């Protein structure tokens, strides 16, 4: 079948334009096969990254038909069937500076990973007399996060990263959970404190699910972020009131807002959590730059519509809260 590849290209002067290439492709071939054929037969100047060609190295991540994925994973038949047309659009990853064509500068991605101290501390990093052994059960706790191939697809789609440069990103927080879940690591308490401190860590995530949607390895970064949040909340002291602890306030505001509107009214969420219900002026002021960036990128929700089925959601939450209250008092 004939397929048109519409590729966003960047010249060295950062001039952007779309270039189209027509190719004869087999349905079972991959998008990467198409790019390689273009480079070999039509245009040797087209720049993109690839290595393993087998969804292992993560280097061929790019935006294909509007979502970030691996070019060596997606096949032609699937891509043309998605929109029912023999055209595939390809662009570089988002949230990263473009170097040329489909090649992005990954340095911010690595810097954000480094920020979570992505190494097992192994008991103060002393040299053991023998290996730090783990049981198969302990090892299996790390499998899902360990499958990350650091491709950058989640980072490219992350809505929080798009407006908050301080947020370390889904890949880094999935790694953070991998370390918190590792029984050999001796810095769990420090890690949880660091990951829960400000909007650079878990509380910066807007729970948009995009990272889960695009991750080609099933790492589900948002699930890992939720586990980190739970560990942080478990560590919060019972006497922490919503005024004293931002993590506790975060959970409380989240439940209250979902109960009231079926989903979260993001306009109120920041004010309640970071601004402590208008009590924390410093916190409120710290939200201003983020709010302005969101406005500039069209990501600030100007209005709020309760979700369909709000009543059902509310009843469910009430039932769970009542059950919890009964089991606590028993
Ligand atoms: S769920 Fe959170 S970490 Fe994942 S893409 Fe959305 S904002 Fe980013
Ligand atoms: S979490 Fe998934 S999408 Fe993100 S870098 Fe790792 S493998 Fe890629
Ligand atoms: S070339 Fe290695 S993941 Fe695609």
Asked whether 174 lines ligand 1 (CB < 6 A), one says no
Position in ligand 3 atom list of the atom nearest CA 49 = 1
Asked whether 205 lines ligand 1 (CB < 6 A), one says yes
Q: How much distance in Å is there from the Cα of 160 to the middle of ligand 1?
A: 6
Q: How much distance in Å is there from the Cα of 279 to the middle of ligand 3?
A: 50
Ligand minimally distant from the alpha carbon of residue 299: 1
Best residue among 59, 62, 214 to mutate for probing ligand 3's pocket (most ligand atoms within 8 Å of CB) is 59
Ligand minimally distant from the alpha carbon of residue 150: 2
pLDDT score of 268: 87
Report the run of H or E that residue 98 belongs to, with start and end: strand 98-100
Question: Which residues are within 8 A (CB) of 91 and not within 5 positions of it... i.e. 6 or more apart?
Answer: 7, 8, 62, 63, 102
pLDDT score of 56: 96
pLDDT score of 128: 65
Calpha distance 264→255 (Å, rounded): 9
Best residue among 68, 155, 221 to mutate for probing ligand 1's pocket (most ligand atoms within 8 Å of CB) is 221
Best residue among 93, 150, 161, 169 to mutate for probing ligand 2's pocket (most ligand atoms within 8 Å of CB) is 150
pLDDT score of 238: 57
Calpha distance 248→253 (Å, rounded): 9
- Structure letter (DSSP) for residue 301: -
Question: Which residues are within 8 A (CB) of 25 and not within 5 positions of it... i.e. 6 or more apart?
Answer: 1, 2, 3, 33, 34, 37, 76
Ligand minimally distant from the alpha carbon of residue 220: 2
Number of H helices, E strands in the chain: 16, 7
Ligand 3, atom 1, lies closest to the CA of 53
Domains and CATH numbers, the chain: 2-104 (3.10.20.30), 106-235 (1.10.1060.10), 243-330 (no CATH)
Q: How much distance in Å is there from the Cα of 132 to the middle of ligand 3?
A: 32
- Ligand 2: which residues within 6 Å by Cβ? 148-154, 170-171, 174, 215, 217, 219, 221
In a structure prediction context, what are the per-residue pLDDT tens digits for the chain, which is 330 residues long?
999 999 999 876 668 999 999 999 999 999 999 999 999 999 999 999 999 999 999 999 999 999 999 999 999 999 999 889 999 999 999 999 999 999 999 999 999 999 999 999 876 556 667 777 889 999 999 999 999 999 999 999 999 999 999 999 999 999 999 999 999 898 999 999 999 888 899 999 999 999 999 999 999 999 999 999 999 988 876 555 555 677 788 888 888 999 999 988 888 888 888 888 888 888 888 888 888 888 888 888 888 899 989 999 999 999 998 988 888 777
Best residue among 31, 34, 36, 55 to mutate for probing ligand 3's pocket (most ligand atoms within 8 Å of CB) is 55
Predicted TM-score (pTM) of the model is: 0.86
Number of residues that this document lists for the chain = 330
Q: How much distance in Å is there from the Cα of 161 to the middle of ligand 1?
A: 8
Asked whether 49 lines ligand 3 (CB < 6 A), one says no
pLDDT score of 127: 67
Task: Round the CA-based radius of gyration of the chain to a whole number and report it.
Answer: 23
Calpha distance 120→108 (Å, rounded): 22
């Amino acid at each position: 079948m004939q397929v048109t590849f519409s590729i966003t290209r960047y010249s060295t002067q950062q001039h952007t334009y779309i270039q189209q290439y027509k190719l004869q492709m087999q349905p079972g071939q991959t998008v990467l096969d198409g790019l390689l054929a273009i480079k070999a037969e039509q245009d040797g100047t087209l720049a993109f990254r690839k290595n393993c060609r087998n969804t292992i190295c993560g280097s061929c991540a790019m935006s294909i038909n509007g979502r970030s994925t691996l070019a060596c994973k997606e096949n032609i038949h699937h891509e043309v069937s998605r929109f029912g047309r023999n055209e595939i659009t390809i662009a570089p990853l988002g949230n990263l500076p473009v170097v040329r064509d489909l090649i992005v500068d990954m340095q911010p991605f690595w810097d954000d990973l480094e920020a979570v101290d992505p190494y097992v501390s192994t008991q103060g990093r002393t040299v053991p007399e023998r290996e730090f052994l783990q049981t198969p059960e302990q090892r299996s706790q790390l499998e899902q996060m360990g499958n990350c191939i650091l491709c950058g697809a989640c980072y490219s789609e992350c809505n929080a990263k798009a407006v908050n440069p301080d947020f370390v990103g889904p890949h880094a927080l999935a790694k953070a959970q991998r370390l918190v879940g590792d029984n050999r690591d001796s810095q769990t308490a420090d890690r949880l404190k660091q990951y829960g401190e400000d909007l650079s860590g878990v509380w910066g995530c807007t729970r948009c699910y995009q990272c889960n949607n695009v991750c080609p390895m099933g790492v589900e970064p948002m699930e890992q972020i939720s586990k980190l949040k739970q560990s942080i909340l478990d560590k919060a002291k019972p006497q922490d009131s919503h005024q004293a602890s931002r993590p506790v306030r975060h959970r409380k505001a989240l439940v209250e807002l979902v109960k009231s509107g079926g989903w979260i009214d993001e306009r109120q969420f920041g004010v309640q959590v970071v601004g402590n219900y208008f009590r924390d002026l410093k916190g409120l002021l710290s939200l201003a730059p983020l709010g302005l960036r969101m406005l500039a990128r069209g990501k600030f929700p100007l209005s709020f519509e309760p979700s369909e089925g709000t009543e059902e959601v509310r009843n469910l939450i009430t039932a769970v809260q009542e059950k919890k209250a009964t089991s606590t008092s028993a």
